[in-house]
């Protein structure tokens, strides 16, 4: 009996001593750093006669740190193991548990926090022989900052019985989180289409669940160049049907049409994955209101806001370049007849509305081509800027009295020959031109209306922009309704000549401003050549008026040739490219959305200013608010970072950033901080009170603000 007890005791000690060795044999050593530990673990104790071995890459992360899924989203890259130096290894395949979405500052990333095991299936070359795994794993881990690492891990599995071991349950628990066909969780995706009736790339799927959905999310993988945003989810009344709409950025709809996408649907612990071809196939409607149906009820509200915003646009600094045209359109009717006033101002209003609809048509075309859209983006095009500078100078030369001769009819209509009786066509073109020149910047309610319109189909874009044009034309319509506003003014006389010269100088200043913007687009040399051609055209008109001049009727033709030459310059000149680092912005950093996210996560307060050289309201905001105390003092604060995004030329990153706030025009400013990581958008016209109030809400220490 004593011998038997001794034998059992020795046997117990042996097994207790052996258990840790078995466990160690089923897990490799940790590769550790301050943020992450990673190793290989095995679900079996030995190779046995298996052809495949269930393994896992185990990551343990410090609080707040994350690694990325196979499709990381807007930033990052996933763990990438290499198996060089392994023995008896034929192949190794990773699978990916359903990730979590991390949304911050408009960036959407997908990955894992705390701990994750990536299931790994290793195929052996010779079953029954030991397996030696050696891997170099390149991965990225992020918190306030992102750090790339390369881990070196290893595991030796001997030959012998392939019995389950200490890590079997751990690996199996993560295998169960790998999305499958959906049957296990009662999930299915029954339809996936590209939405018709939209000009941007929108994908919509119809998902069904055996049980009610809680908070479904959709991850889409497709063409490498496509970036998929955060989905909009609408549930049916019983919660078992979800209509999910997601935008694909950076690609045209035709790029997605007919392609097979990988769709991963996740709802809590439930998930599924399917490969689905998508084509244009009409809309899917949920039993509940879809975003399109919900917004349909607000279309009339948006049209009303567009009407108000268009009227307010008349009061914005952006209309300063057309002040001469607006004033002249009123004062030249002094002592005139009411019928002429009505006809002229109705024609001008029609030009305003038509010009706004032309902008809408251009934006629809740009959207259809899959390009970036935005309010005022015509000022990013050198050809448009040169055309506007040309027309502005023709207006100025007319006001200086250089058009006493008869130019060709079209040029005469454009110049409006203010010395005589302008035609209805001339009034119409005045309104059209004034609108094109007065709309590089946004105004209160304009951003809301334009943002709504540009997210809709073509018909709604035209409706909203038509309302904007009508609002902008309201002052002209008011004069047409009450012509005494104009006829009560003094009759034209010598005072009118002086006023014309003053207003002509205002237009020359406008042309100089346009030339400074042209210099950014095509370089200073190109802008100088445009300026020289415009001055030369004025010289031709002036010389024509000198006694004994032989230019005669040929002056108009010469001016026309010079005008065509000026318009050709942006076409023949290659736009200037930035080949060096941007010039110093002083206290301002160049806008970078990834850096913005990092700064906010580190506790900084960030002020973002989206501006452009062609945005006069932006320049007013800088002069009156941003570069003046107390805001300038706050921006110099130790814990405050000022970022500036220059949209003078097309920039898709800035366009996407604006769109994340539902904005498509500038000026745009936002304040971020520990208490407001999603940002507080500010009004178009800034005041110190608006900025400092947002700063206080963001968590900024307002004791640092200069008194």
Asked if 164 and 206 sit in the same domain, the reply is no
Last residue of one domain, picked from the residues 277, 292, 307: 292
Structural element, H or E, at residue 61:
strand 52-61
pLDDT of residue 651: 79
Q: Work out the percent of the chain whose per-residue pLDDT is above 70.
A: 76
* Dihedral sign computed on CA atoms, order 344, 349, 355, 358: negative
Q: What are the start-end ranges of the E strands in 268-376?
A: 270-277, 279-280
Q: Which residue has the higher pLDDT, 503 or 621?
A: 621
Whether 1 is in a domain gets the answer no
Whether 6 is in a domain gets the answer no
pLDDT of residue 286: 40
Please report, for the domain that includes residue 597, its CATH number.
3.40.30.10
Dist. CA 669–CA 688, nearest whole Å:
13
Asked if 350 and 455 sit in the same domain, the reply is yes
Query: At 3, is the pLDDT very low, low, confident or very high (cuts 50, 70, 90)?
Result: very low
Query: Per-residue pLDDT tens for 66-75?
Result: 999 999 888 8
Among residues 392, 405, 653, the alpha carbon closest in space to that of 543 is found at 405
The residue written with tokens 């002592």 in the block is: 335
Given a cut of 90, whether residue 579 has pLDDT beyond it is: no
Dist. CA 225–CA 89, nearest whole Å:
34
Asked if 97 and 191 sit in the same domain, the reply is no
Dist. CA 349–CA 5, nearest whole Å:
108
Q: State which of 258-262, 279-283, 600-604, 669-673 shows the largest mean pLDDT.
A: 669-673
- Give the ranges where 206-248 is alpha helix by DSSP (H): none
Q: What are the start-end ranges of the E strands in 195-347?
A: 202-209, 217-221, 227-228, 232-235, 241-249, 260-267, 270-277, 279-280
Q: Which residue has the higher pLDDT, 350 or 437?
A: 350
Dist. CA 190–CA 205, nearest whole Å:
8
Query: Per-residue pLDDT tens for 339-396?
Result: 777 888 888 889 889 988 988 888 777 766 555 566 666 777 788 788 888 888 887 8
Query: Per-residue pLDDT tens for 642-662?
Result: 999 998 888 777 877 886 676
Q: State which of 132-141, 280-289, 316-325, 472-481 shows the largest mean pLDDT.
A: 132-141
Dist. CA 172–CA 45, nearest whole Å:
15
Assess contact for 275 and 260: CB atoms under 8 A: yes
Query: At 410, is the pLDDT very low, low, confident or very high (cuts 50, 70, 90)?
Result: very low
Q: Work out the percent of the chain whose per-residue pLDDT is above 90.
A: 23
Structural element, H or E, at residue 596:
helix 593-601
Whether 101 is in a domain gets the answer yes
Give strand pairing partners of 208.
188, 241
The residue written with tokens 């629809």 in the block is: 364
pLDDT of residue 547: 66
Asked if 402 and 460 sit in the same domain, the reply is yes
Asked if 285 and 304 sit in the same domain, the reply is no
Whether 344 is in a domain gets the answer yes
Whether 429 is in a domain gets the answer yes
Two tokens, residue 124: 């052996």
Kindly report the average pLDDT of the chain as a whole number: 78
pLDDT of residue 568: 79
Whether 579 is in a domain gets the answer no
Task: Compute the radius of gyration of the chain from its Cα atoms.
Answer: 34
pLDDT of residue 396: 81
pLDDT of residue 317: 64
Q: What SS3 class is residue 47? A: coil
Two tokens, residue 149: 């690492």
Dist. CA 120–CA 96, nearest whole Å:
9
Whether 350 is in a domain gets the answer yes
Domain that holds residue 152: 19-175
Displacement of CA 703 from its chain's centroid (Å): 34
Q: What SS3 class is residue 307? A: helix
Query: At 480, is the pLDDT very low, low, confident or very high (cuts 50, 70, 90)?
Result: confident
Query: At 584, is the pLDDT very low, low, confident or very high (cuts 50, 70, 90)?
Result: very low
Dist. CA 88–CA 631, nearest whole Å:
67
Assess contact for 137 and 38: CB atoms under 8 A: yes
- In this structure, how many other beta carbons lie within 10 angstroms of the beta carbon of residue 619? 17
DSSP assignment, residue 682? P
Asked if 640 and 673 sit in the same domain, the reply is yes
Assess contact for 508 and 324: CB atoms under 8 A: no
Give strand pairing partners of 59.
38, 116
Give strand pairing partners of 260.
277
pLDDT of residue 595: 86
Q: Which residue has the higher pLDDT, 136 or 460?
A: 136
Asked if 508 and 386 sit in the same domain, the reply is yes
Give strand pairing partners of 463.
none
Query: At 24, is the pLDDT very low, low, confident or very high (cuts 50, 70, 90)?
Result: very low
Two tokens, residue 461: 């874009």
Among residues 279, 376, 295, 306, the alpha carbon closest in space to that of 613 is found at 376
Q: Is the pTM of this model over 0.75?
A: no
- In this structure, how many other beta carbons lie within 10 angstroms of the beta carbon of residue 598? 18
Q: Which residue has the higher pLDDT, 370 or 600?
A: 600
Query: At 318, is the pLDDT very low, low, confident or very high (cuts 50, 70, 90)?
Result: low
- In this structure, how many other beta carbons lie within 10 angstroms of the beta carbon of residue 277? 10
Given a cut of 50, whether residue 14 has pLDDT beyond it is: no
Asked if 387 and 513 sit in the same domain, the reply is yes
Assess contact for 396 and 500: CB atoms under 8 A: no
Query: Per-residue pLDDT tens for 51-103?
Result: 999 999 999 999 999 999 999 888 888 999 999 999 999 999 999 999 999 88
Average pLDDT over every residue of 263-284: 81
Structural element, H or E, at residue 346:
helix 338-368
Among residues 409, 418, 319, the alpha carbon closest in space to that of 617 is found at 319
Tell which phi-psi region holds residue 547, choosing left (phi > 0), alpha (psi between -120 and 50) or beta.
Answer: beta
pLDDT of residue 89: 94
pLDDT of residue 330: 67
Whether 581 is in a domain gets the answer no
Q: Which residue has the higher pLDDT, 154 or 529?
A: 154
Q: What SS3 class is residue 283? A: coil
pLDDT of residue 550: 63
Query: At 179, is the pLDDT very low, low, confident or very high (cuts 50, 70, 90)?
Result: very high
pLDDT of residue 56: 95
Please report, for the domain that includes residue 136, its CATH number.
2.60.40
Helices and strands counted in the chain (H then E): 21, 25
Among residues 653, 637, 634, the alpha carbon closest in space to that of 645 is found at 653
- How many angstroms separate the Cα of 686 from the Cα of each of 307, 407, 433, 608? 22, 45, 28, 13
Among residues 57, 62, 63, the alpha carbon closest in space to that of 78 is found at 57
Assess contact for 407 and 559: CB atoms under 8 A: yes
Q: Which residue has the higher pLDDT, 107 or 124?
A: 124
Query: At 578, is the pLDDT very low, low, confident or very high (cuts 50, 70, 90)?
Result: very low
Given a cut of 50, whether residue 535 has pLDDT beyond it is: yes
- In this structure, how many other beta carbons lie within 10 angstroms of the beta carbon of residue 51? 14
Given a cut of 60, whether residue 22 has pLDDT beyond it is: no
pLDDT of residue 407: 40
Last residue of one domain, picked from the residues 545, 572, 599: 572
Average pLDDT over every residue of 29-48: 93
Q: What SS3 class is residue 171? A: helix
Burial of 163 from C-beta contacts in 10 A (0-12 / 13-18 / 19+): exposed
- How many angstroms separate the Cα of 10 from the Cα of each of 2, 3, 5, 17, 18? 12, 11, 9, 10, 12
Last residue of one domain, picked from the residues 149, 175, 201: 175
Asked if 341 and 239 sit in the same domain, the reply is no
Q: What SS3 class is residue 467? A: helix
Query: Per-residue pLDDT tens for 185-220?
Result: 889 888 888 875 455 678 888 898 888 898 899 999
Q: What is the 3-state secondary structure (H, E, C) of 421-457?
A: CCCHHHHHHHHHHHHHHHCCCCCCCHHHHHHHHHCCC
Q: Which residue has the higher pLDDT, 73 or 403?
A: 73
Dist. CA 530–CA 515, nearest whole Å:
8
Instruction: Print burial letters for 215-241: b (CB count within 10 Å at least 16), e (below 16).
Output: ebbbbbbbeeebbbbebebbbeeeeeb
The residue written with tokens 């979590």 in the block is: 100
Asked if 557 and 602 sit in the same domain, the reply is no
Asked if 304 and 284 sit in the same domain, the reply is no
Average pLDDT over every residue of 540-553: 70
Asked if 412 and 320 sit in the same domain, the reply is yes
pLDDT of residue 137: 95
Given a cut of 50, whether residue 530 has pLDDT beyond it is: yes
To the nearest 10°, the Cα dihedral for 354, 356, 360, 365? 70
**Count of structural domains, the chain:** 4
Question: In terms of residues, how long is the chain?
Answer: 707
DSSP assignment, residue 319? G
Cα distance between the two ends of the chain: 94
Assess contact for 519 and 562: CB atoms under 8 A: no
């Amino acid at each position: 009996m004593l011998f038997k007890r001794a034998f059992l005791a020795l046997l117990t000690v042996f097994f207790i001593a052996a258990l840790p060795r078995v466990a160690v044999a089923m897990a490799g050593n940790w590769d550790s750093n301050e943020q992450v530990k990673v190793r290989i673990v095995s679900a079996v104790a030995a190779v046995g006669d298996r052809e495949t071995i269930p393994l896992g890459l185990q990551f343990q992360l410090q609080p707040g740190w994350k690694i990325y899924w196979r499709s990381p989203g807007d930033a990052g890259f996933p763990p990438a193991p290499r198996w060089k130096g392994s023995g008896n290894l034929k192949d190794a395949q990773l699978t990916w548990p359903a990730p979590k979405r991390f949304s911050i500052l408009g960036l959407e990333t997908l990955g894992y926090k705390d701990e994750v095991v990536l299931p790994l299936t290793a195929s052996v070359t010779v079953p029954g022989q030991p397996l030696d795994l050696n891997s170099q794993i390149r991965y990225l881990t992020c918190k306030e900052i992102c750090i790339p690492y390369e881990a070196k891990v290893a595991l030796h599995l001997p030959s012998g019985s392939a019995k389950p071991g200490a890590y079997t349950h751990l690996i199996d628990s993560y295998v169960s989180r790998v999305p499958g066909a959906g049957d296990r969780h009662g999930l299915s995706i029954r339809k996936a289409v590209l939405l018709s009736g939209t000009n941007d790339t929108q994908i919509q799927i119809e998902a069904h669940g055996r049980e009610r959905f809680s908070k479904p999310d959709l991850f889409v993988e497709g063409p490498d160049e496509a970036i998929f945003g955060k989905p909009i989810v609408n549930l049916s009344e019983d919660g078992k049907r979800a209509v999910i709409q997601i935008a694909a950025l950076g690609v045209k709809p035709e790029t997605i049409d007919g392609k097979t996408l990988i769709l991963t649907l996740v709802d809590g612990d439930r998930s599924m994955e399917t490969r689905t071809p998508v084509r244009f196939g009409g809309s899917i409607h949920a039993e509940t209101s879809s975003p399109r149906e919900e917004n349909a009820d607000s279309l009339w509200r948006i049209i009303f806001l567009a009407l108000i915003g268009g009227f307010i646009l008349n009061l914005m600094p952006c209309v300063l370049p057309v002040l001469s045209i607006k004033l002249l359109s009123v004062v030249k009717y002094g002592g005139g007849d009411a019928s002429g006033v009505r006809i002229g101002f109705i024609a001008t209003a029609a030009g305003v509305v038509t010009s706004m609809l032309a902008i809408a048509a251009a934006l629809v075309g740009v959207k259809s081509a899959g390009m970036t859209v935005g309010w005022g983006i015509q000022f990013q095009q050198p050809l448009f800027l040169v055309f506007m500078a040309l027309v502005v100078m023709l207006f100025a030369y007319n006001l200086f009295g250089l058009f006493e001769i008869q130019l060709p009819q079209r040029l005469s209509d454009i110049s409006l020959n203010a010395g005589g009786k302008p035609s209805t066509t001339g009034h119409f073109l005045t309104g059209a031109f004034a609108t094109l020149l007065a709309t590089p910047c946004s105004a209160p309610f304009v951003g809301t209306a334009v943002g709504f319109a540009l997210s809709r189909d073509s018909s709604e874009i035209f409706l909203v922009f038509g309302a904007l044009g009508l609002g902008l034309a309201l002052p002209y319509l008011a004069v047409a309704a009450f012509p005494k506003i104009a006829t009560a003014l003094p009759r034209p006389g010598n005072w009118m000549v002086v006023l014309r010269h003053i207003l002509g100088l205002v237009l020359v200043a406008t042309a100089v401003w346009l030339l400074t913007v042209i210099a950014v687009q095509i370089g200073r040399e190109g802008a100088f050549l445009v300026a020289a051609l415009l001055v030369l055209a004025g010289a031709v008109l002036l010389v024509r008026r000198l006694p004994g001049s032989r230019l005669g009727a040929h002056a108009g033709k010469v001016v026309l040739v010079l005008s065509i030459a000026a318009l050709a310059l942006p076409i023949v000149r290659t736009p200037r490219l930035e080949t060096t680092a941007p010039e110093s912005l002083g206290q301002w950093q160049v806008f970078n959305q990834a850096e913005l996210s990092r700064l906010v996560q580190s506790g900084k307060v960030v002020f973002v200013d989206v501006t452009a050289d062609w945005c006069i309201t932006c320049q007013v905001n800088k002069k009156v608010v941003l570069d003046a105390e107390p805001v300038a003092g706050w921006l110099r604060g130790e814990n405050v970072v000022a970022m500036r995004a220059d949209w003078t030329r097309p920039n898709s990153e800035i366009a996407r950033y604006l769109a994340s706030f539902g904005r498509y025009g500038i000026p745009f400013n936002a304040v971020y901080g520990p208490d407001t990581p999603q940002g507080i958008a500010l009004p178009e016209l800034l005041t110190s009170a608006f900025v400092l109030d947002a700063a206080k809400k963001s968590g900024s220490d307002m004791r640092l603000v200069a008194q």
